[in-house]
Amino acid sequence: MAIDVDLLTRICEAPGAPGFEKEIRELVLKEVDGLADSVRVDNMGNVVALKKGKSSKKKSMAAAHMDEIGFIVTHIDDNGFVRFNPLGGFDPKTLTSQRVIIHGKKDVIGVMGCKPIHIMSPEERGKNLKLSDYFIDLGMSKKEVEKIVTIGDPITRRSELLELGDCVNVKSLDNRVSVFVLLEALRAIKKSRRKPCYDFYAVFTVQEEVGLRGANVSALEIQPDFGFGLDTTIAYDTPGSQPQERCTSLGKGAAIKIMDSSTICDYRMVAFMKETADAKKIKWQPEILAAGGTDTASLQRMNPGGSIAGAISIPTRHIHQSIEMSDKKDIEACIKLLAACACDLDKGDWKF
């Protein structure tokens, strides 16, 4: 099994800032057609695809968020420079030298600018830049900009997918790689002619980067008995890291989450995932993420009585930059593990 890099490219390069997921949602709707028994879009914009199981006595749900970190236009100054607020978490230093796309009446490309180092004072050079120090330069006058851009327009980063060695490199692998994994897991289940053991809800959620908002409403509606969060996780396997800091490493397989800052995964689900991976000869590694949360928290808790929840994470370097990197074999392992788990949940030991 080799991953479909062309599909992953289209998914990652499609725009979809939190609350503005229209284009990526349309792509997902096109790709999921024929892979599930029913597909619908809820009031918030989540795509809910149901693959009927051998039994409807229980429900399982996997969530992969469609939104990417981005910005929103807040001001156009007298010289046509655009100011913005973030949608999601940004490290300001990652904005230097970046190209962005403002999605106004039409898409227009701009560049992130700030005060040149040549005219900074020694004190300014020693300070870390803030988001408010940046502006977007469209190369146009205020009059020209206002023909295209209005306050409230979303902004996304511009970055093309490249294959580097065994890896893919592009913006928004967080979390478009999980959208890809969920689609391809549905495709793998269909190709295998197996059925999930229980009704399986594949949900492509919105607004995760600003507070798990789409997953909250989906979990409340579906009320799953079992939950699978799908997201990227830190691969700090780069120079300068210490073994205890690495969280995960590229090339060592699918990451089975044990905990992050918002979720302690159910130990029964963790054990089930490990046993399933071993039985299917799927390469895996454990994940404990000190900071950061995912839709897993919503699956676990936004449900009367809660669900038995865990997560499959894709190890990723350079997260929340426009050069995120994941190993193609790790992505493949995540697809295989999710498909196997959805079909074999009835084999787990769920007793306390």
Rounded Cα distance, 11 and 16, in Å: 10
Cα 150 from chain centre: 27
Rounded Cα distance, 140 and 282, in Å: 53
- Please state, as a whole number, how many other Cβ atoms lie within 10 Å of the Cβ of residue 223: 15
Element (H, E) at 35: none
- The catalytic site residues sit at 208
- Token pair recorded at residue 303: 């449900």
Torsion 267-271-276-281 (CA) sign: positive
Name which of 311, 304, 316 is nearest 337 in CA terms.
311
Rounded Cα distance, 320 and 186, in Å: 27
- Token pair recorded at residue 86: 């973030």
Rounded Cα distance, 349 and 204, in Å: 28
